[in-house]
A = this chain, B = another copy of it.
């Protein structure tokens, strides 16, 4: 990290110095005259792009969880988990993390502005992972994170200063709509209650903590897949997945199929 940061710093410094020298009336800021010609210097970009992926530094999972809970209150679930990882890196590492426009991640709230699609906590976590590891590693970590989310009783992290006590529930799905309704049905609190909002704050904290642990294990070279694909997914994909007879489902592994496909009475072959 130190080498990369220093290299980036020098790249920034050099490029902006050239840009400054090209700008009329700006040289007095540093009290020296421009030596290269303005024409050549105008080609220099004032803001170079940092090397991708950005270099991860191991984070304390509890610190990350507490920040996710606090940031959930500022911008909801996707912002909460993304800011917990990338915002903490901004605080602890600085650039390039400090340049990221965190506010853009508010769109994932409630499965994208309460449309109930992908859980925002997962969307933010996946985006954060994808910024700090390459795509092959990102896919492995995200697959594990989603499988964990589908099968564990969540939330499993209680913030240090909670507003309410919150019961945990298993979602069987990465979708906001399913996850919230399962919790509402179990807890007895409605989907628009302050308890539900609190539950999603705890959930953002739980997902952010799990994400930090996954990234730390990857950094340590100890990451391994733990949570398996649900059994009914394996059964269904035997006929509907890649290289099967029907091949009409573009899903490699996911949440339980029978959560939505509840009526299989018309299925062309009997389902066990």
Contacts from A to B (Cβ < 8 Å) = 8-10, 12-14, 16-17, 19-21, 23, 26, 29-32, 35, 45-50, 52-54, 94-96, 98-99, 101, 103-108, 110-118, 122-123, 126-127, 129-131, 135, 138-139, 142-143, 146, 174-177, 180-181, 184-185, 190-193, 196, 242-243, 246-254, 260-263
Contact = CB atoms under 8 A, between A and B. Distances in A.
A46 B12 contact: yes
Central interface residue in A12, A26, A103, A113, by most chain B CB within 10 Å: A113
A149 B68 CA distance: 31
A180 B250 contact: yes
Given A23-B9, A114-B250, A116-B250, A29 B47 contact: no
Contacts of A247: 184, 190-193
Given A13-B46, A174-B115, A260-B260, A101 B253 contact: no
Nearest to A265: B263
A77 to B, nearest CB: 11
Contact of A135 (B29, B46, B106, B250): B106
23 contacts: A8-B47, A13-B20, A13-B26, A14-B29, A49-B98, A50-B99, A52-B104, A99-B99, A105-B127, A107-B138, A112-B118, A112-B174, A114-B251, A116-B254, A117-B117, A118-B118, A181-B249, A184-B248, A191-B248, A191-B249, A192-B250, A193-B247, A196-B250
